[in-house]
């Protein structure tokens, strides 16, 4: 299975399990994750949700071949279901990130409550490099977390940045050696699972209540632009260059 899920001791673990493809996410994987999040939301035995990958890779983002087969912006498509389930989760959501976290691998972290990173973690949001725009409300949430100037650097240039910089920006809660990440994240999840579930839900709701509507509105706005840009010449050049293993040439576009 490309997505592994398990429940134990109040913790629902969702794990990327496609290392041979750098955990690149397909529509089927988004659906599995959305279904797992929705199930965890309904299951009273689940107290906390933990999303993780492999020691060498969190996720390379979208599987581009699979992604380009379905460029619909429908709210029912699997990625939209996943985004909605994660952004509206009422229970604490944690992420443990090692290796690369590309595109949605980084933007999804802004909807998690606790994010722990290994020293080998690398984050990137290369949307402009693909002729696209930010998604998953990252154009709203990253400036709130990191400040406008640092967010602009990451979103406009789309270049990768380290776990240490992510920590300094406030995107991650703690940086750990790779070998210690999984055990530490499990330990933190166990602490949350032992606390009163109602207290955790209310505390999370209070912290997020000021911008819940704004996040949903921004996701809709980004999605509209994203869908339009997918069919534009710049994106076509970016994807063609990717598959041809060459550098894209955007100089011919205004």
- Which pLDDT value is given to residue 252? 85
**What pLDDT is stored for residue 129 in this prediction?**
96
Asked if CATH classification 3.90.226.10 holds for the domain at 3-178, the reply, yes or no, is yes
| DSSP string covering 158-185 | ---EEHHHHHHHTS-SEEE-HHHHHHHH
Q: Which residues of the chain have pLDDT under 70?
A: 71-72
- Give φ, ψ of 68 to 5 degrees: -75, -10
Tens-digit pLDDT profile for residues 139-168: 999 999 999 999 999 999 999 999 999 999
- pLDDT in the model for residue 71: 66
Q: What does the pLDDT read at residue 181?
A: 98
Domain ranges, ordered by start, for the chain: 3-178
**pLDDT in the model for residue 75:** 72
First-last CA distance in the chain: 44
Q: How far is Cα 67 from Cα 211, in angstroms, rounded to an integer?
A: 29
């Amino acid at each position: 299975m490309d997505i592994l899920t398990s429940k134990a001791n109040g913790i629902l673990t969702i794990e990327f399990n496609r290392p041979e493809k750098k955990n690149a996410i397909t529509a089927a994987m988004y659906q599995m994750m959305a279904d797992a999040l929705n199930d965890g939301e309904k299951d009273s035995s689940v107290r906390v949700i933990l999303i993780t990958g492999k020691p060498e890779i969190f996720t390379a983002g979208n599987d581009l071949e699979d992604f380009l087969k379905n460029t619909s912006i429908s709210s029912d498509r699997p990625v939209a279901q996943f985004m909605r389930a994660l952004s509206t989760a009422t229970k604490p959501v944690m992420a443990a990130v090692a290796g690369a976290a590309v595109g949605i691998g980084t933007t999804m972290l802004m909807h998690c409550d606790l994010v722990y990173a290994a020293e080998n973690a690398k984050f990137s949001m290369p949307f402009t490099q693909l002729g696209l725009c930010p998604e998953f409300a990252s154009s709203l949430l990253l400036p709130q977390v990191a400040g406008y100037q640092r967010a602009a650097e990451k979103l406009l240039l789309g270049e990768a940045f380290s776990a240490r910089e992510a920590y300094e920006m406030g995107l991650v809660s703690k940086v750990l050696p790779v070998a210690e990440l999984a055990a530490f994240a499990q330990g933190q999840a166990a602490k949350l699972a032992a606390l009163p579930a109602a207290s955790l839900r209310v505390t999370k709701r209070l912290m997020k209540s000021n911008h819940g509507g704004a996040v949903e509105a921004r996701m809709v706005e980004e999605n509209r632009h994203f869908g339009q840009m997918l069919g534009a010449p710049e994106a076509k050049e970016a994807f063609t260059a990717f598959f041809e293993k060459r550098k894209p040439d955007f100089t011919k576009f205004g």
